[in-house]
Each structure stands twice: as C-alpha cells, then as structure tokens.
Amino acid sequence: MTSSSRIAIIGAGIAGLACATALRQAGFQVSLFDKSRGAGGRMSTRRGADWQCDHGAQYFTARNPEFRAEVTRWEQAGVAGHWQLQLRSPDADGCSGGAPVERFVGVPRMSSIAAWLAADLALHTETAISALQREDSAWRLHVQDEGPLAQRYDMVVLAVPAPQAVPLLNQVAPLQAALAAGTSMAGCWAMMLEFAQPLALDFNAAFLNSGPLRWVARDSAKPGRSGRESWLLHASAEWSERHIELDADSIAAQLLAAFISLGGQVPQRWSVHRWRYASTPQARNDVCIWEAGQGLGICGDWLNGGTVEAAWLSGHALAQRIIAGSA
C-alpha cells in the first residue's frame, strides 16, 4: 500500500467523508459511493418551497479537541454555527431542558456541512454497492442491478450502519461480519411540520421523557434559517422500534397528538420519515477497524458512541491508521 493507492469508501455520511478528506489530503486516490442522492447520511435536510427542516441529526457537540478544531474549520467556512437553544424547563409532563452544553448545527441547513466536505471529493451518488469481491489482491465492487465496476481498488472502507455492512462482509470477512451482525441499531420516526405563522410556544426545543416523543424542536429557530415556521418531532428509539412497520398516517396521528399536548397545533403540511438505523443503544468502543492484510477498513458512529462527533472521529482515526501503514 502506498499513498497513491486507490481507495473505495462505501457510505458518504460524516464518517465516510472524514475518512475520505484525510486520505485525499495525504495523496490517496479516493472514490466515495453512496446509495442516496447526496452526501451526509443522517446529517440530512428536507426542503420545499420557502421551507426546510433538518429531519436527521439535530445538532452536534464537540468535546474532543481534534473534532473541535474541525468544527472551527466548518465555522470559518460558513457551514456551521453555534445554536443557542431556548430549552423547555423540566416539569410534570415529562419534558426536560437538559444540561447546558455547547451545540452546533449546519448553516444554513444541517446538510451544508456534508455538501461542503464532499465538494472536492469523487462522489458517486445513487450507487448502491451490493457486493465486494476479492480479486488478485484487489477489490472489485458490484453495483446493485448493474454488476461489477470496471475499476479495481487497493483498499475498501465500509462507512455504513452495522446491519448494512453485514451482507457486504459475509463472504470476504466473516469475523467482521459477525461483529457487525452482533451490533443492534434502533430506528427513529421523524415528523416534519410546516406552519404559515410562528407558534406561540415559550420554548424552541425540549427533550421528552414520556410518551412517544423523545425530542421536539423549532427547526426554523436554528441559525441561518429562513422561510416558513418548521418543527421537527423525533420519536424515542423504543417507541420507534415498536412501531417501525406502521404506516405513515398512523405514525403522524400519534406523534402530532403528543405535540399538541405540549401546546402545539395542527400544521399546514406535514411529512414523516423513517430512519431505519438511527442509533446504537449499546455502541461499541472500537473507534474503527483496519485489516491491513486485506486492505479492508470499517468506520462509523456505531463503532464509537453513536454521535456526529463519534462518526467523524471514527472516520478520521481510520484514515490515520491507513496513512501510517502506507508511510
């Protein structure tokens, strides 16, 4: 392996982007593949006419000095900012403001950070990698419904949720496949609400400790936002898992009823989104995995604590291990 090696990274969420950025800076030839229409994974934003709403990750913290330095770089680029939440105070209805903490968001939307990171990378979107093949000490990638890519790669990195990594690893790395298979991930139902006028509520965000909701936030109150009033509702992991196959209308009815009980109103428009693999109840502490002999790496928040910060640290750590082994 040398710094001119070709590396394929499957998954363009924050972990994949962090890994790709560091490797490209070190001189590697990096190609990113993602099944979605753009980069970012759960750093995602739904957009409409004069309206937007972050429906995945709501904010992130930066406790690690290395990640805090990266966030400063994002701030200087104008794609991240500090969010001063007007949190609801604890009361009898199970709401909680949470402990004071420095929180950051993407500007003017959460997906802006991923778009900025991906701007200088070779990103192939709407490309679902369905299989990996080891061929003459190199890797061949197979695209769903299309077959193998012509290009072969010296190394491959999986930066996808654990359940999605399992079928890719089964034939080429059974031990790592078993590790991923043994890691459970919980889903999350998200509901986006659009209003013609701002709601007269005395809070912009709250953690919920009872009922179906875990988090509610006035998304339009985040820094750099414009357009109509928008609110985001996240169901708890436990409730989401119990109702993971329920239809959208039934989900919306229950989440909206819970929001109205907090003082909310019926929105002008709404939509729901199911994040099938949103969190890791018992995240591992491996940080990342690197099999130098195979040229196979794995990174992602499920290996390192389940947050945006954990995802970036996982991808960055894997890149450093690859770079060190190629020196």
Which pLDDT does position 15 carry in this prediction? Answer: 98
| Cα–Cα distance, 116 to 264 (Å, whole number) | 35
Which pLDDT does position 80 carry in this prediction? Answer: 98
| Pairing, β 29-33 against β 122-124 | parallel
Which pLDDT does position 18 carry in this prediction? Answer: 98
- Is the separation of the CB atoms in 193 and 272 below 8 Å? no
Which pLDDT does position 3 carry in this prediction? Answer: 61
- pLDDT, tens only, 199-236: 999 999 999 999 999 999 999 999 999 999 999 999 99
| Cα–Cα distance, 101 to 86 (Å, whole number) | 12
Between the alpha carbon of residue 74 and those of residues 12, 117, 135, 301, the distances in Å are 17, 9, 39, 20
Low-confidence ranges of the chain (pLDDT < 50): 92
DSSP annotation string for 137-203: TEEEEEETTTEEEEEEESEEEE-S-HHHHHHHHTTT-HHHHHHHHT---EEEEEEEEEESS----S-
Which pLDDT does position 266 carry in this prediction? Answer: 98
**Which residues pair with residue 140 across a beta bridge?**
133, 152
Which pLDDT does position 4 carry in this prediction? Answer: 73
- Is the separation of the CB atoms in 15 and 159 below 8 Å? yes
- pLDDT, tens only, 66-115: 999 999 999 999 999 999 988 886 554 566 665 568 999 999 999 999 99
Which pLDDT does position 90 carry in this prediction? Answer: 53
Which pLDDT does position 282 carry in this prediction? Answer: 80
DSSP annotation string for 27-75: T-EEEEE-SSSSS-TTS-EEEETTEEEE-S---B---SHHHHHHHHHHH
